[in-house]
Amino acid sequence: MKDLRSKIVTPLAALLLLCAAGVAGYSYIEGWGFLDSLYMTVITLGTIGYGETHPLSAGGRVFTICLILGGIGVMTYIFTSITELLLKGGLGEAFRRMKMQNKIENMEGHYVVCGASRPGLSVCEELSKTSRPFVLVVLAEDEVKKFMGRGWCAVAGDAASCSTLEAAGIKKANGIFCALPGDKDNGFIAITARGLNPAVKIVTVQNEHDEEMKDKLIRAGADIVINPSHIGGLRMASEMLRPATVQFLDSMLRGQKAGARFEDIEAGPGAAGRSLGDFKGAGCKGALVVALKQPGDNSYELNPVPGLKLKKGDVLVALGTPEELKTLSSSLS
């Protein structure tokens, strides 16, 4: 990204600097006005071949020679950079990447996904379906173009380095997913991310079957450690014991578009003191509140009664379409 930007911005900046030097030089040496100095600079750099604007002194001619030599170098550099971008078909890509980089720089409350592994790509697909802003961190620069084609924001580099995570906006992110194949790599990412943003939520994959690895990843800074093998075993059991439930969940998660989703929604000041029945979707159109978790309590109250009084900070586990969940979240704020 920086190389592409430099191939466009640097030559143009050099040209503007040379023009400014030419205008200043003619104004100082010959005492000309701004327009005459600019005109003489442009026809000199452009090798137009027109006559001199005014007769030049010896000092002016020496300055013009220097300006011509500098102009040849700068113009050659500009045309070489532009030709290279055109031949590689990279001019449009350069502008797309600049636009993507500006989007990343303006992101707040987004998510960083480290690694284009199967877990990492699954996370990206879910975030994309639910319209959550995110940045995917990949190792190779060529991968950035591939994921840009899917409409995703991506940066290339070592996910465990400060510069790469800062380029992905880790300091303003809500959470980071560590999804590299190596647990040690995920641990280093967690350490780096925690140092750059102490408040960020870190979820990491545990690939090895070492019983101590989970504790090591948590000590490295991870908030949640996911073991795909364990999850896979639970999924196999569920397929056998409760197939209809599994198929229902699959229909939510594997659809091409975001269908029904479970969502955490926190009750705000406007909902404090009001009954859950004012918001609950059972018996009326809208998202359905299936569980409630009170602040400081790790247990959940399943199918809470409509008469339950809400408090600020209560977390409602709701089921519905993205639009229904958004409506419920707005009413609870």
- pLDDT at position 191, please? 96
pTM of the shown model? 0.67
Coil, helix or strand at residue 156 = strand
Say yes or no to pLDDT of 90 above 80.
no
Nearest Cα residue to 2 out of 150, 121, 87, 104:
104
Average pLDDT, the chain: 86
* Cα angle for residues 201, 207, 210 (degrees, 5° grid): 105
- pLDDT at position 249, please? 78
User: Domains (ranges, CATH) in the chain?
Assistant: 2-89 (1.10.287.70), 107-226 (3.40.50.720), 260-331 (3.30.70.1450)
pLDDT band at residue 81 under the 50/70/90 scheme: confident
Residue-wise pLDDT tens digits, 34-77:
998 888 888 888 776 666 778 888 888 898 888 888 888 887 87
Q: How far is CA 42 from CA 35, 103, 221, 276, in A?
A: 11, 36, 58, 73
Q: Between 297 and 135, whose confidence is greater?
A: 135
Residue-wise pLDDT tens digits, 106-148:
999 999 999 999 999 999 998 998 889 999 999 998 899 899 9
- pLDDT at position 3, please? 54
Say yes or no to pLDDT of 13 above 70.
yes
- pLDDT at position 65, please? 87
Give the pair of three-digit tokens for residue 29.
């040496």
Q: Between 12 and 29, whose confidence is greater?
A: 29
Q: Between 260 and 255, whose confidence is greater?
A: 260
Say yes or no to pLDDT of 162 above 50.
yes
How many Å apart are CA 13 and CA 68, to the nearest integer? 17
Say yes or no to pLDDT of 193 above 60.
yes
* Cβ proximity of 136 and 120 under 8 Å: yes
pLDDT band at residue 1 under the 50/70/90 scheme: very low
How many Å apart are CA 310 and CA 269, to the nearest integer? 10
* Cβ proximity of 116 and 146 under 8 Å: no
Per-residue DSSP letter, 184: H
What integer is the mean pLDDT of 6-20?
80
Percent of the chain with pLDDT over 90: 35
Q: Between 96 and 201, whose confidence is greater?
A: 201
Residue-wise pLDDT tens digits, 207-241:
887 778 889 999 999 999 999 888 888 888 988 99
